[in-house]
Amino acid sequence: MLYQLVVFLHVIAVLGYLLAHGVSMSVSFALKRERDVNRIRTLLDLSAASYPTMLWTLLAIVVFGFLAAFLNMVWWRFGWIWVSIVVLVVIVVLMAIFGAGVFGEIRKTAGLPYMVKGKPFPAEPAKSDEEVYAAASKVNPTLLLVIGYGGFAVIAWLMIAKPF
């Protein structure tokens, strides 16, 4: 019974993570089209507002995932669980590079507080509108969608199929 509860909480955490992170995903698509710097700032603030929930639910995914694996110690003998962990780490690293790094650069250019490699920095004077648009054009929402959604689809398949 405890195992099923932990797995349920793991799945709920994944759903919460996808909901919270869906905000940033939607913002990344909107940034490609937006040509009003004030709206770009608003979109970036909306994305940043979902960040704490995203981090807490990611932590819950990891905690409940490991707890489920330790409650059912047999899983550690199979390759699918190790590949799932590696895929999650790869997703996090790639999203930090191609997502957070680009969003931080846009925030900096737009005159908003920003982060570099997880370290917060205060707002600097905003650059010209053209520089903000150029920074916003660097976001690649399709790549982020493939990494995030595709990666989670691979993990879901591994957890359901348990192929090895």
Q: What is the residue-level pLDDT of the chain in tens, covering all 164 positions?
A: 999 999 999 999 999 999 999 999 999 999 989 999 999 999 999 999 999 999 999 999 999 999 999 998 888 999 999 999 999 999 999 999 999 999 999 999 999 999 998 899 999 999 999 999 999 999 999 999 999 999 999 999 999 999 99
Buried b / exposed e along 54-63 (16+ C-beta atoms within 10 A): beebbebbee
| CA atoms within 13 A of residue 99's CA, in its CB half-sphere | 27
pLDDT at 51: 92
pLDDT at 7: 95
pLDDT at 153: 96
Locate the domains of the chain by residue range. 2-161
pLDDT at 117: 85
pLDDT at 94: 96
Report the alpha-carbon distance of residue 124 to residue 121 in Å, rounded: 9
Torsion of CA 128, 26, 95, 58, to 10 degrees: 130
pLDDT at 83: 97
pLDDT at 74: 87
pLDDT at 118: 84
Instruction: Tell me the whole-structure pTM to 2 decimals.
Output: 0.87
Report the alpha-carbon distance of residue 82 to residue 71 in Å, rounded: 16
Structure tokens at 20: 């919270």
